[in-house]
Structure 1
Amino acid sequence: MTTPKPPSHLKPATRKWWASVVADFEMEPHHLRLLQLAAEAWDQAQTAREVLDRDGQTFLDRFGQPKERPEVGILQNARISFARLLRELALDGVDGPEAPRAPRTADYGARR
């Protein structure tokens, strides 16, 4: 079976993580979709974090009142999505809510 390539729209570090997960676990097609969603959520969180680090968590509206930046909500939602998707994939050895854990590949650990 051919090893799938990471989606090209992911950030380089996230593509590397995606590829390492695919190399370490036997993934069904639905697992790959969940993994892609998790990787996208991670990238969204990192992008929002970069904006917040640069611009702060608030801005002043036209009346001079502080308002929360939209990136705060984006970061929070992306973190929650990432954590839930990882739980569904059960990559950390803890069984997902109702899904079996993806088995490790035969050569897991031998490539390090």
Structure 2
Amino acid sequence: MAPESMNGLPTAVLIVWVMCALGWGAVYLTLRRGLRGPARGPALFTHTLTPASTILLCSLVGFGSLQSVIVLTAEWWALLLVTGLRPERLVAAGGLGRLAAWAAAAAAGTLLAGHLVL
């Protein structure tokens, strides 16, 4: 049985952080493996900046860090699910249907995780 909290931090929050880090890493690896050409550098650069910019934005606003991490986690895992571990498919030919599926999966994941964690 999992502990209720770890040094005062709820276990559910730790799980969200770990899932977020794993999702970020999986998207990074698949982008690195799959993208070629001039789009590769900017895509990897912006993906690398996403966690830091999210933390900075939440600290400037003053709240919402956990909610933002939940949203990012849902988005990254939905991206991997919808594109079949090939994120470049999201903008490839016929990508509008995948984009809609990604948005729907990310929204559903965010709502589900929000209800479980918050």
**TM-score strictly above 0.5:** no
Which one has a bigger Cα radius of gyration?
A: 1
TM-score range, shorter chain: 0.3 to 0.5
